[in-house]
Every structure is written in structure tokens, then in C-alpha cells.
Homo-oligomer: A and B are copies of this chain.
Amino acid sequence: MESLALPVDPVVRSLQIELSPPSLENPRADIDTLLGAVEGQTGLADLCGDLEVIREVPCVLRSQDWKVGVCLRGSRLVRVASGSSRPLGLAVDLGTTKVAGYLVDLESGRNLASLGTVNPQVSMGEDIIARMARAKDSPADAARLQELVVGALNRLAGDLSAEVRADPRDVVEVVVAGNTAMHHLLLKLPVEQLAMSPYVPALRESFEVRAREIGLGIAPGAYVHLLPNIGGFVGGDHVAFLLATRLDRTDGVALALDIGTNTEVCLAVDGALTSLSCASGPAFEGSHIRHGMSASHGAIEHVRVEDGNVEYETVGGAVPVGICGAGLLEVAAQLLSAGVLDRKGRLGDHPRVRLRDGEQEFVIAETDGSAGMPAVTITQRDIQQLQLAKGAIRAGIRVLLEASGRTEEEISQVVIAGGFGTYLDVGSAVAIGMLPSIPLERYRQVGNAAGVGASMALVSRAARAEARRIAGSVRHIELATAPRFMQVFAQSMFLG
């Protein structure tokens, strides 16, 4: 996506301070002296220091020969360290299945390194409903869910810092963009009221908490800024996505989708935004698919079915070991077009269709005995999973259009984001009816826009203000309570 030129104006700034040591004639207290010098240099008054930060001051001052680098957040001391350490920020796109981290130089605003990892909470439930049920039923599970995700964030901070030869303690600010459930589980906020009607968040506004209060081992005085939520199932990741795509500045009818385990869909009509979230499930990430896998080495990502022949490409050109979300979409589109699959999702006759373990399946890659690889197939149940996912997304789009009195033909642009959204073949997605059948040139794939938005909020205070404004202005539709949702959903499961 296009890079957005933002003035670099982070909430944390750094400065160099040099002091003279105390003496018997002038037995000044270390911390007061440092704060006084910072006040003198900045013109700020009433500076305060977090206990963990000021505890380090006497030792750092003496070990650095009374010349130190100080990070300041408003009037709070965030870090006191060697003068040569540079202040870093961490932007996090906290997804239900994946967590992406972006390490940013807070002085230049430059992205230094990026890294993705699995959200380890998946071990306690693949979707947010399952995890909220665990958290609701057991305080120990709620604590464990928090520990898991904080552990992932600590590993991200450590690995990203190592990549640029920095110390995780140089990370002085974090921005987290996550859906409302991920947001609540990270803060260990109660989820009871979120999981049942009227599905209210405990907290909607942006929130700041000391990093170490939730267990993050970065700079001792660092804060985490959580972007605001919009509603019970549309959270800060969607706000970050809107901040990056600026859908509110488009004319006419525009559609934006952030595809993941939860897919957020936003319809803009002359800049007025309406959003909802649909539970598309983890099929596109490879879960619940017989040979499903992430888009890593050996994953089938492109498929062509012509006559009786099947051609495929794998990630890295490797021996096929499974199929990723993009491949799944393509094979379904190809089978539909070849008439092997009907609109209800039933596999018909074809030389490659076989019965295995009582279930029909289409063989994409044959067993390769020499390489020791089993066949890669797509089963009848895999197709059902795909139908549920694509049906949820298409239903979301239809509900939004209906609520705004618009039609698919009126959509002048569609923005698609998310890890999977970057790699999917839009033609295939349109072919199976996951996305509206409008000219392909109206589609634009923008990568991880939520991560971009989170990074923007990291380096720019104006972006945070804008995020709050956006969050407060989006109209939110609760899909489960939308009129005719079940009919629309059932219709949307048809292929094509």
C-alpha cells in the first residue's frame, strides 16, 4: 500500500543530560537532580518518574559518568540509560491466529524490522468464542490466556530487538491493535458481558497501561497504547486498518475487508463508515482443512484444472506438503469452473475424485512414494469449511449494503487487507462468490493495513487522535442481530 507521509511526532521523546556529581557541600539527591535538569532543558514542570525507572537512576548515573540518555513520555520518565541507546517502538497487530510485530525507530519513524508469529492462545481455543468461554469460566484460564499472548509479545520484542542489535529495554512504547476480544484478553478485562447479548465491551476507548503491569519486559517505564475498539466484535485492529486505508476520505461507495479468522468488513458511502465483523474461521489459515497449512515452504498456492489435468505451484517450488488458503480458493474456483463442483459445493465425477475414508476428495497432488509424501487433496468437508468462511464474508458484505440501501454494482473500489488478503487470487474469490462480481480492476490488495495503522499510531500523536475520531464515528452493526442474517448467510454459502 502507499506509504502515508506522516510527521514523526511520537509520544515518547529522548534527550541527553549531563550532570555534575553530588558532594558534601552539595549533597543533592540523584533523582531530584536528574528531574530538575530535564525540567530545565525541556521547560516542563512537575516531572515524575515511575518507581521502576527511578530505582535505576543512581546506578546508571554513576556507571555512565553522569551523562545519560533520558526518554520522556509527557511529563513521565520512561527510561534512563546510556546516552547511545536509541528509543524504539513496537507496533503489534494482535490477531486471533497470528501476531505481527513491527519494530520502529522512534526518532526517524523508520520501520527497522518485522516479524510474524502464531498467537499461542490457539492452544486454548481456535476462535474468540472458545477463548472467551475459557476466560469466563476460569480465572486461571483467563490468566493463562494473558500469559500466552504476553509471552508471544515478549518473544517478538526480543527477536526484533536482536535483529537490529538492540536491547528489548530500548523499546519505550508499544501500540497494540487487536479485535475487542484479543484486547480484553490481553488486559485480562472481564469478557462475560462481551460474550452475551447485548455484547458490550468492558472498555471501548483507547487505553494506556504500563507495559510491565501486563508483564512486558521492555523499558521499565514503557507504556502500551491500545487503540480504541468500535464495538463488541470490531476492535482496534479495524480502527488501525481504517487509519491506514483512510476509507473515510473516499468518495462514492467503497468496501474494505480485513480477512482473517475474524473478517472485518467496512462499507464507506461518501466517507460515512459502517462496519461489522464476521466469523470467517481459520480455514484460510489452514485449520480444519485436511491438508491445510500456512503459506509456507511446500504449500500449494496456485492450481489450474484443465480437462483432466491438474497443474500446481508450491511456495518455494518445493515438493507439495499441503495447501494454503490461497490454493484452497483457487482449486475451488477451478473445480467450479470445470464443473467438478456444483453450486451447493458437492464434488461430482472426475478421474481425480475418489472416495477415501467414506468421504469424496479431489486429488491435487498424487502420492509421491520416492519423496515419502502423501497425496494432497481437497475433501468434501474442506469445501464445506470454505463455504462457511466465504458465506460469512459475503453475508457481511450483503448486510452492509442492505443497511445502507446500496448495491454491489455501485461499489467503486474494494480494499483487501490481512495476511491472507495479500496473497489471495481475487479472480478466484470472485469466481466462488466470496467477493462481489464487479470488475477486477476495482480491487486493491494492500497487505497488513492494520500493522501499518498501528505503526502510524506509534510514531504520530496526530494518528492516535485520528484513530479515536474514527473509532467514535464508525457505525457498528452487530451481525448476529442483523435482520434476515440467517437467510443472507444461507444464500451466501452457494458457490459462484
Contact = CB atoms under 8 A, between A and B. Distances in A.
Name the residue in A31, A35, A231 with the highest tally of chain B Cβ atoms < 10 Å from its Cβ. Answer: A31
B58 A190 contact: yes
A188 B55 contact: yes
Interface in A339-364: none
A202 interface: yes
A31 B58 CA distance: 39
A5 interface: no
Contacts of A205: 29, 31-32, 35
Interface stretch (A7-15, A149-157, A192-200, A297-305): A192-200
Contact of A203 (B29, B188, B199, B478): B29
Interface stretch (A20-28, A411-419, A449-457): A20-28
Contact of A202 (B54, B188, B193, B201): B54
A200 B54 contact: no
Name the residue in A192, A199, A202, A209 with the highest tally of chain B Cβ atoms < 10 Å from its Cβ. Answer: A202
B55 A204 contact: no
A347 B214 CA distance: 65
A483 to B, nearest CB: 12
Interface in A202-230: 202-205, 208-209, 213-214, 229
A202 B35 CA distance: 12
Contact of A22 (B59, B188, B198, B208): B198
A187 interface: yes
A313 interface: no
Contacts of A327: none
B28 A202 contact: no
B197 A30 contact: no
Contacts of A201: 29-30
Interface of A: 22-24, 27-32, 35, 48, 51, 54-55, 57-59, 62, 187-190, 192-193, 197-205, 208-209, 213-214, 229, 231-232, 478, 481
Given A24-B481, A58-B190, 6 more contacts: A24-B198, A24-B478, A27-B199, A29-B203, A29-B205, A54-B189
21 contacts: A22-B198, A22-B200, A23-B198, A24-B197, A27-B198, A27-B478, A28-B200, A29-B200, A29-B202, A30-B202, A32-B203, A48-B208, A54-B189, A55-B187, A55-B188, A57-B202, A58-B190, A58-B192, A58-B193, A58-B202, A62-B193
